[in-house]
Chains A and B, each alone.
Chain A
């Protein structure tokens, strides 16, 4: 509009808003910060807190400073034009292992756990497990909001982060498939989102993914380090997960560390694999990405259920009715015994079970998600996804809010 404007911003958001302004080409954008929150305050409280208060960043009175921001002539820096080219630092670092570990921590290249240092030899070994060129652009990623920048990263960037995560080179095609989507594993949202993936096909055994007891936990190198590599690639390749700028989760989510990397227990499942239900051939190596809150909701099991009360389909339907379907719908991760209970109750396909649980035929148009801000509005259940994995040592399952996104052929990245 070419008229002077000043945004009003709570001081808690100062680092993020300065970064956003820089990303948009105005590194010195004049903003007025003040102490929050505003939500729920009376006019009298706002008068004292803001009108008579000081900017916590500069220490100056808010209103006098606001006038100054509108009337003080621009400095040369504030009138600059042209293109600002940036890089993310030198290509390599040299030092002792202790120095390098300390440097990686200080530069926030890690998830605060020790990493494997990405030497030339280790990265070269990782790259042997793909035919793709190291300098090929693998993906573009932002932290999950248009407010964040979109960074680019190469196959080699992914290899570096895979080494750091402790991944074996034979896992690399799966990591590339995840990275090729550009979906972050560490979303910026103040909601505290997580990411997950389900892997189908023969690669499950080829690389030693665990789909028996402990399938969704950190109990196999492949599951754990593939998830960690995706998180590190998001932190480094996509510049995500930087608290205060590209991460704003109010209470956070522990699943951002390694995500939930699941392989379906296709051998013991009575249903077609997830990938086949999404249009891929049986046996094809496919990874399906998920996003959501995670699983393990409070009502995910019923230990006192016994005998004639073992109506697991009914219990799952009841839990579905308690889930918040607004953003991510409901994901049910069933152990093989529970999946067989469902099959034996007459639901011999996931589609039939889904129709019964949700009360909607497959492909039926769902109710609109609602306005951008609809505090208090809750859409029960939402989309329903079934995954079968884990052991057969007991009748357990987990449910939560996770919705499938893209599915990617892993073999395209060998």
Chain B
């Protein structure tokens, strides 16, 4: 009884199978496989962005005051020290000022912001990690 059932099942499978060029049997592709569907895009909506211009650049670093602002990530102080040394060696006429952000890793304290605006010409801020 089991053998007869197995034989019928194999016979039925044979009706739906073809032999591929590699010799392995494959299921015959029906017309549904090529049917096209229209589906929705699943994304939400991004917010609009207000474009902001960058500040004008300096024509030279000579005679200018360059602030190094350390936002407090570990090692930022050492990095800024070696960078400051490079500027002192290569741009001796540039005044270097080192400060800590005073407001954690993601902001500058208002007092420092005002100081750079008032007394600085440019700033290098780090460390983005």
Is B15 positioned at the interface, with any CB of A under 8 Å from its CB? no
Is A100 positioned at the interface, with any CB of B under 8 Å from its CB? yes
> Would you give the shortest CB distance from A173 to chain B, in whole angstroms?
19
Please tell me if the beta carbons of A1 and B48 are within 8 angstroms of each other in the complex. Answer: no
Is B37 positioned at the interface, with any CB of A under 8 Å from its CB? yes
Query: Quick one: CB contact mask for B7-46 with A, threshold 8 Å, 1 for yes?
Result: 0000000000000000000000000011111111111111
Please tell me if the beta carbons of A5 and B123 are within 8 angstroms of each other in the complex. Answer: yes
Q: Interface-forming stretch among A83-91, A254-262, A267-275?
A: A83-91
Complexed CA–CA distance, A104 and B75 (Å): 41
Is B5 positioned at the interface, with any CB of A under 8 Å from its CB? no
Q: Decide: A237 near B43, CB < 8 A? Known: A38-B75, A84-B49.
A: yes
- Counting chain B CB atoms within 10 Å of each CB, which of A5, A23, A29, A51 scores highest? A5
Query: Quick one: CB contact mask for A46-76 with B, threshold 8 Å, 1 for yes?
Result: 1100110000000000010011001111100
Please tell me if the beta carbons of A71 and B125 are within 8 angstroms of each other in the complex. Answer: no
Is B82 positioned at the interface, with any CB of A under 8 Å from its CB? yes
Note all chain A residues with C-beta closer than 8 A to B105: 372-373
Note all chain A residues with C-beta closer than 8 A to B81: 43
Complexed CA–CA distance, A85 and B43 (Å): 16
Complexed CA–CA distance, A85 and B104 (Å): 32
Note all chain B residues with C-beta closer than 8 A to A29: 54
Note all chain B residues with C-beta closer than 8 A to A373: 72, 105
Please tell me if the beta carbons of B44 and A63 are within 8 angstroms of each other in the complex. Answer: no
Please tell me if the beta carbons of A100 and B50 are within 8 angstroms of each other in the complex. Answer: no
Please tell me if the beta carbons of B47 and A152 are within 8 angstroms of each other in the complex. Answer: yes
Specify which of B54, B117, B128 is in contact with A13 (CB 8 Å cutoff). B128
Interface residues of A in 4-22 (CB under 8 A from B): 4-10, 13, 17, 22
Please tell me if the beta carbons of B124 and A239 are within 8 angstroms of each other in the complex. Answer: no
**What bracket does the count of chain B residues touching chain A fall in?**
35 or more
Q: Decide: A38 near B86, CB < 8 A? Known: A78-B53, A92-B41.
A: no
Note all chain A residues with C-beta closer than 8 A to B56: 4, 73-74
Please tell me if the beta carbons of A119 and B82 are within 8 angstroms of each other in the complex. Answer: no
Is B96 positioned at the interface, with any CB of A under 8 Å from its CB? no
Complexed CA–CA distance, A310 and B19 (Å): 64
Please tell me if the beta carbons of A74 and B46 are within 8 angstroms of each other in the complex. Answer: no
Specify which of A83, A149, A161 is in contact with B51 (CB 8 Å cutoff). A83
Chain B's closest residue to A236 (CB) is: B42
Is A94 positioned at the interface, with any CB of B under 8 Å from its CB? yes
Is B55 positioned at the interface, with any CB of A under 8 Å from its CB? yes
Interface residues of B in 61-82 (CB under 8 A from A): 61, 66, 72-76, 78-79, 81-82
Q: Decide: A74 near B57, CB < 8 A? Known: A8-B127, A81-B51, A88-B44.
A: yes
Q: Decide: A109 near B43, CB < 8 A? Known: A3-B116, A5-B123, A71-B61.
A: yes
Please tell me if the beta carbons of A1 and B117 are within 8 angstroms of each other in the complex. Answer: yes
Please tell me if the beta carbons of A73 and B128 are within 8 angstroms of each other in the complex. Answer: no
> Would you give the shortest CB distance from B116 to chain A, in whole angstroms?
5
Complexed CA–CA distance, A80 and B51 (Å): 6
Q: Decide: A70 near B61, CB < 8 A? Known: A63-B83, A82-B51.
A: yes
Please tell me if the beta carbons of A160 and B42 are within 8 angstroms of each other in the complex. Answer: yes
Q: A8-B127, A81-B52 are in contact. List 16 more A-B contacts (CB 8 A).
A: A3-B117, A9-B126, A13-B128, A27-B51, A38-B78, A38-B79, A42-B78, A46-B79, A70-B57, A71-B58, A71-B59, A72-B57, A83-B50, A84-B49, A84-B50, A239-B44
A-B CB contact pairs (8 Å), 18 listed: A3-B116, A3-B120, A3-B123, A4-B56, A13-B129, A24-B52, A25-B49, A25-B52, A41-B75, A46-B78, A92-B41, A96-B35, A109-B43, A147-B106, A149-B46, A160-B40, A236-B42, A373-B72
